[in-house]
């Protein structure tokens, strides 16, 4: 700019440059810098965007976990019976079988608990039922129709999940429950919270349903978070409810209280409860004991606790452990 002034002013004086053009000569370098100013920042962003794109393409290029049929069959009408027959499943095409010959029946209103050591295939079973994983043998039927012939989204309106680490969004308690059913009224939300045994606590808060839960529900306790998630699953009113370790990460006292409450809340509803705590399981119709993907034993709590095996060992361990209370 100074250079432009130094050469431009004498040129205007001597009459070789028009006075108006002097402004152009002086301002041009400034304007030119504005054009290239963004380039270093763009170079920085390029690296970041490249890394993000690599992650997105890795997902897009991965194999589709489940394929919807080209012409999905219509969803069978209620009441719904889910039947699992000789089911086998693996997570990778040449990997080991995570489920090997599992069969179970979920007629309307029946409650079945699935227990077993870590890695025995409990979550895998829930994943196949929700069609997040394709079976490699055997089948799952809904009222006799193979679920592979149904659209996965349709199936998930019948079979719903309350997951181990249910996610709460950075919003209010009421909105987090309402996610399950947008048009739900406040009264319906309160009713779901009451069935999840958390309404008294919510109503004791100064802002009630409008209390914010924080990012990932950080401003509520683990037990309260699971109960809000349970209320959401109850409001969704799935005909078949899958609960995967709803009491995981809670101290034993809170875990047993939550299990007792959810067993009460799911009475009469078709439920598959995956759990590692056995307290309260005398309320379910059948307990399936999984071990390395196979059914090691099955029966009622009284039957399983009476005979030697994995279940009795788990039950004795649970009773011998002192209850940890963090209240
Ligand atoms: N997403 C996955 N990808 C690959 N393998 C998996 C995946 N999920 C589970 N597995 C494998 O499948 C087997 C069964 O795991 P699964 O998660 O079903 O066990 P689990 O009974 O739910 O255990 P936990 O009590 O620890 O939750 C394990 O050997 C596990 O390593
Ligand atoms: Mg699991």
**Separation of alpha carbons 126 and 245, rounded Å:** 11
* Tokens describing residue 130: 């929700």
Q: Measured on CA atoms in the order 205, 210, 215, 221, is the torsion positive or negative?
A: positive
Q: Indicate where the chain has its CATH 3.40.50.300 domain(s).
A: 82-320
The correct answer on CATH 3.40.50.410 for the domain covering 82-320 is no
* SS3 state of residue 301: helix
How does pLDDT run across 247-271, given as a tens digit for each residue? 777 778 878 888 888 888 888 889 9
Beta carbon of 118 within 6 Å of any ligand 1 atom: yes
Mean confidence (pLDDT) of the chain: 88
Give the residue, out of 88, 94, 95, 122, with the most ligand 1 atoms within 8 A of its beta carbon, to mutate for a pocket test. 122
SS3 214: coil
Which of 256, 294, 298, 261 shows the shortest CA–CA distance to 275?
A: 256
Question: Residue 123: CB within 6 Å of ligand 1?
Answer: yes
- Give the residue, by CA position, lying nearest to ligand 1 atom 6: 91
pLDDT reported for residue 104:
94
User: What pLDDT, in 10s, does the model give residues 133-143?
Assistant: 999 999 999 99
Q: Is the CB of 98 under 6 A from ligand 1?
A: yes
Checking if the pLDDT of 327 tops 50, the result is: no
122 pocket-lining for ligand 1 (C-beta < 6 Å): yes
Residue whose pair of structure tokens reads 């909105």 in the numeric block: 175
Beta strand 111-115 with 137-142 is unpaired
Nearest 10 degrees: Cα torsion 212, 264, 276, 251:
50
């Amino acid at each position: 700019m100074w250079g432009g002034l130094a050469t431009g002013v004498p040129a205007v004086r001597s009459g070789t440059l028009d006075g108006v053009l002097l402004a152009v000569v002086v301002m041009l370098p400034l304007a030119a810098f504005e054009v290239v100013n963004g380039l270093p920042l763009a170079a920085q962003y390029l690296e970041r965007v490249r890394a993000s794109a690599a992650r997105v393409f890795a997902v897009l290029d991965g194999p589709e976990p489940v394929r919807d049929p080209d012409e999905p069959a219509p969803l069978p009408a209620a009441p719904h019976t889910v039947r699992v027959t000789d089911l086998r499943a693996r997570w990778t095409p040449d990997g080991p079988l995570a489920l090997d010959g599992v069969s179970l029946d979920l007629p309307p209103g029946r409650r079945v608990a699935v227990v077993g050591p870590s890695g025995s295939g409990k979550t895998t079973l829930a994943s196949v039922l929700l069609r997040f994983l394709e079976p490699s043998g055997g089948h799952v039927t809904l009222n006799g129709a193979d679920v592979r012939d149904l659209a996965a989204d349709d199936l998930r309106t019948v079979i719903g999940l309350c997951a181990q680490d249910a996610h709460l969004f950075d919003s209010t308690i009421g909105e987090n429950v309402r996610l399950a059913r947008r048009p739900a009224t406040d009264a319906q939300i309160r009713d779901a919270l009451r069935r999840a045994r958390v309404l008294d606590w919510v109503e004791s808060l100064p802002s009630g349903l409008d209390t914010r839960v924080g990012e990932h529900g950080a401003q509520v306790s683990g037990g309260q978070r699971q109960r809000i998630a349970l209320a959401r699953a109850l409001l969704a009113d799935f005909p078949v409810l899958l609960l995967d370790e709803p009491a995981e990460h809670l101290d034993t006292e809170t875990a047993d209280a939550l299990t007792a409450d959810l067993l009460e809340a799911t009475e009469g509803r078709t439920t598959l409860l995956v759990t590692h705590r056995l307290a309260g399981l005398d309320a379910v119709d059948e307990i399936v004991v999984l071990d390395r993907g196979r059914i090691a034993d099955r029966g009622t709590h009284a039957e399983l606790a009476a005979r030697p095996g994995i279940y009795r060992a788990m039950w004795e361990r649970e009773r011998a452990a002192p209850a940890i209370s963090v209240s």
